[in-house]
């Protein structure tokens, strides 16, 4: 199993519910590798000093969320050089057309203008494919927004295997079903996913937000103008996206299905109060553990160094196989 998270700003509730909580569960069931993908963060403008800080913060948050280096491999992408090297080989099997069809590229390029978008942003899904394929990965736990990138990874691996002989394992995405937290929406704009690249912080719950900030953000979450009463609180992402998002958050944290949880509510105030409580309760121990790691960055760096060394052992073998399959002269 392999998955990754970008160290762009602080991770948020969408990252936690769509990915991290599953990572923690899965570390006992699978040979799992988890990666802070710092090279991916270079695809958008950012401050170099902030990047290394955010990389350490993200790794600390993953540990605080429950990743345990004795049960999984946790490492930083740029510490294993084969990620960049395999990306080149895969870029020489991918086509402009298929990368042009990636919706994340289209969205981001449309926002900032395609002319000035970085080439790395365009090629980003190929780097992601390299991440996954280097570890003979069967399963990739991700949120719904990564579905298309996983499809591309499978296509590239299949094409490569057909062209150059069996080299890569074909991976499968593991995505929670609808209502299971795979697509948490922005609290201020429930038609858009909660995202680090959103313009405003008001709709995003960061994992390090204080309880009063969380309460305020959830209380101000956009719902709709239906009057209270039976049926006002119901699971209906198309007609009632704001309310459904709160139900989904509550369901993911307390267990159960959002449509069943809805039956217990007649007004939005109580739903918001309970959703805020559930988030605060979940984050309390995580934030406490985070503070401990933040005081001892050396211990986090040691965990990452050990993770990189274990990851390298696997990645170097796969990369050598790929080199030889594509005809590069043995060293």
Q: Which residues are catalytic?
A: 108, 193, 196
Nearest to ligand TYM of 187, 232 (CB atom): 187
Nearest to ligand TYM of 19, 233 (CB atom): 19
Residues 6+ apart with CB under 8 A from 263: none
Question: What span, in angstroms and rounded, lies between the C-alpha atoms of 54 and 63?
Answer: 14
Nearest to ligand TYM of 194, 315 (CB atom): 194
Question: What span, in angstroms and rounded, lies between the C-alpha atoms of 134 and 116?
Answer: 31
Nearest to ligand TYM of 54, 271 (CB atom): 54
Q: How far is the CB of 248 from ligand TYM (least distance, A)?
A: 9
Question: What span, in angstroms and rounded, lies between the C-alpha atoms of 186 and 240?
Answer: 14
Q: How far is the CB of 230 from ligand TYM (least distance, A)?
A: 29
Give the burial class of 92: count Cβ atoms within 10 A of its Cβ; 0-12 exposed, 13-18 middle, 19 or more buried: exposed
Residue 174 DSSP SS3: strand
Q: Which residues pair with 305 in a beta bridge?
A: none
Q: Which residues pair with 205 in a beta bridge?
A: none
Contacts with ligand TYM by CB under 6 A lie at: 2-6, 14-15, 17-19, 37, 40, 128, 131-132, 140, 142-143, 145-146, 182-184, 193-195
Token duo for residue 101: 């069809």
Ramachandran angles phi, psi of 25, nearest 5° = -60, -45
User: What's the sign of the alpha-carbon dihedral 109, 111, 117, 123?
Assistant: negative
Q: Which residues pair with 4 in a beta bridge?
A: 35
Q: How far is the CB of 298 from ligand TYM (least distance, A)?
A: 25
Q: Please identify the residue of the shown chain whose CB is closest to the bound ligand TYM.
A: 18
Nearest to ligand TYM of 5, 54 (CB atom): 5
Nearest to ligand TYM of 195, 287 (CB atom): 195
Nearest to ligand TYM of 88, 165 (CB atom): 88
Residue 74 DSSP SS3: strand
Q: How far is the CB of 135 from ligand TYM (least distance, A)?
A: 10
Q: How far is the CB of 162 from ligand TYM (least distance, A)?
A: 23
Q: Which residues pair with 35 in a beta bridge?
A: 4, 75
Question: What span, in angstroms and rounded, lies between the C-alpha atoms of 53 and 56?
Answer: 5
Q: How far is the CB of 7 from ligand TYM (least distance, A)?
A: 8
- CB burial of 206-218 (b: ≥16 within 10 Å; e: otherwise) equals bbbbeeeebbebb
Q: How far is the CB of 26 from ligand TYM (least distance, A)?
A: 12
Residues 6+ apart with CB under 8 A from 209: 217, 283
**Closest among 133, 129, 123, 128 to 96, alpha carbons compared:** 123
Question: What span, in angstroms and rounded, lies between the C-alpha atoms of 265 and 260?
Answer: 10
């Amino acid at each position: 199993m392999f998955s990754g998270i970008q160290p762009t700003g602080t991770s948020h509730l969408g990252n936690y519910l769509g990915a991290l909580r599953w990572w923690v569960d899965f570390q006992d069931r699978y040979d799992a590798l988890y990666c802070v993908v710092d090279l991916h963060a270079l695809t958008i403008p950012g401050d170099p000093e902030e990047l290394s800080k955010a990389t350490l913060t993200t790794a600390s948050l993953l540990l605080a969320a429950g990743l345990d280096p004795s049960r999984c491999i946790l490492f930083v992408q740029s510490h294993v050089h084969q990620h960049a090297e395999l990306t080149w080989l895969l870029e020489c099997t991918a086509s402009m057309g298929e990368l042009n069809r990636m919706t994340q590229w289209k969205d981001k390029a449309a926002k900032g203008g395609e002319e000035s978008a970085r080439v790395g942003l365009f090629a980003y899904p190929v780097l992601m494919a390299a991440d996954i394929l280097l570890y003979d990965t069967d399963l990739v736990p991700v949120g719904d927004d990564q579905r298309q990138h996983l499809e591309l990874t499978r296509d590239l691996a299949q094409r490569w295997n057909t062209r150059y002989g069996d080299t890569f394992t074909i991976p499968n995405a593991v995505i929670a079903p609808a209502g299971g937290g795979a697509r948490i929406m922005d609290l201020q704009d429930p038609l858009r996913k909660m995202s680090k690249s959103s313009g405003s912080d008001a709709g995003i719950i960061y994992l390090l937000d204080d309880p009063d900030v969380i309460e305020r953000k959830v209380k101000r979450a956009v719902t709709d103008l239906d009057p209270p009463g039976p049926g006002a609180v119901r699971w209906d992402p198309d007609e009632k996206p704001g309310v459904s998002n709160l139900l989904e958050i509550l369901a993911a944290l307390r267990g159960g299905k959002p449509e069943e949880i809805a039956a217990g509510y007649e007004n939005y105030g109580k739903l918001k109060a309970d959703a805020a409580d559930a988030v605060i309760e979940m984050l309390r121990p995580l934030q406490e553990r985070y503070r401990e790691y933040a005081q001892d960055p050396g211990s986090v760096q040691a965990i990452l160094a050990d993770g990189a060394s274990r990851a390298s052992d696997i990645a170097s073998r796969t990369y050598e196989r790929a080199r030889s399959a594509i005809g590069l002269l043995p060293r």
